[in-house]
Amino acid sequence: MSNKFKKILWGLIALLIIISLLITTWAAISRVETQLEEQINDTAPVMGEPEVMATNLDIPWDIAFLPDGRMIVTERTGRVLLFENDNRSDLGVIENVAAEGEGGLMGVAVDPDFSQNSYLYLYYTYRRGNELRNGIARWTLDGNRITDEHHIIDTIPAALNHNGGRIRFGPDGKLYVATGDASNPNFAQDRNSLIGKILRLNKDGSTPEDNPFGNEVWAYGFRNPQGLAWHPVTQALYVTEHGQQRMDEINIVEKGSNYGWPNYECDQRRDGEISEHNPPIVCFNEFTLAPSGLTFVGDRDLYVAGLRGNQLRHLALSSNLRSVESQRQLFEQYGRLRAVVLHRGYLYFSTNNTDGRGQPGEGDDKIIRVMVAR
């Protein structure tokens, strides 16, 4: 056997050994990845079977619960509903609501002192002359009707698209408001404008003294935010935002920060613009989720209602709470989902198949709940 042949033979043997080691290593990595995935799935909240709680609704936009467990639902066309066990009551219709385009009656918030004052807060679109406006009014729940409308703020510009719409009281007792850019992107960067923002108000509509810019603006640079949720331990504010041609985001929103729109989305930059905030915890850039409501279950699990994405999306957060370890798609059979709220061990979510962009099925639109437990 020639030396040249021996070298070739030994080279082939060495190559086979390397290939064998690579295969073994790849198999080991795959096993570890599978084990990690199984561990993540094992630690995900356990869910029961979904129950339909209400049917034949007219574009239900938001859900809120009173201290005694009764459920408030807003319909974009202007009606406010109250659900108690199997009974449904019409609390009233907001007569001046302009249910045009994406506008109409949207968010509802329950006063932290509701047991003493019976106050509800409603965010809705209306017309002032030829102009569309968004505003927030406070109402008193008197038995099975709402009375005594009192305007909190009524100067938020509106449009057929991008009205935001979610309102929530934060852990600090202040009222937070998600406003869209009202189809005027450049105003999202104007800190004197109320559109494309997260606003922070006192309950009477006045400006808190510790707001960063001396007005209602808490953070700016948003295209169309529609979800607000606070982490149950850190009390950090998480916000969903509709992107342009995908690029949907979920951000941790901090006082005075700029979230980029229209200069940048997710990790994309334009004209050398540098981000002034931490990156999103997740960017949906491969498909359009159109995230709306969101809520926490425990301290590591976020649930996001997807409109165009036709799903409830479960996001398992990393240990630093600033990124996502894994994701799951849930309840795709129900179509467009708008609101999601956790209440007494159940996730409640609303469909929005009658909003002109979905495919309504029998009984649409609906409120559905599912038991969830760690």
Residue ranges of the domains in the chain?
Answer: 48-373
pLDDT of residue 24: 56
The verdict on domain 48-373 having CATH code 3.30.950.10 is: no
- Do the Cβ atoms of 163 and 179 come closer than 8 Å? yes
H/E stretch holding 112 reads none
The pTM score is 0.88
Query: Which burial class, exposed, middle or buried, applies to 42 when counting CB atoms under 10 A from its CB (0-12, 13-18, 19+)?
Result: exposed
Label residue 9 by pLDDT band (50, 70, 90).
Answer: low
Beta-carbon contacts of residue 109 (< 8 Å; ≥ 6 apart): 64, 120, 121, 167, 168, 169, 175
Beta-carbon contacts of residue 271 (< 8 Å; ≥ 6 apart): 263
Give the rounded percent of residues in the chain with a pLDDT score beyond 70.
86
Q: Which two tokens stand for residue 360?
A: 């309504």
The residue among 125 and 12 whose pLDDT is bigger is 125
- Do the Cβ atoms of 229 and 207 come closer than 8 Å? no
310: Cα within 13 Å, side-chain hemisphere: 9
Q: Tell me the three state secondary structure of residue 3.
A: helix
Amino acid at 308: R
The residue among 175 and 85 whose pLDDT is bigger is 175
Q: Tell me the three state secondary structure of residue 147.
A: strand
Region 94-101: what's the mean pLDDT? 94
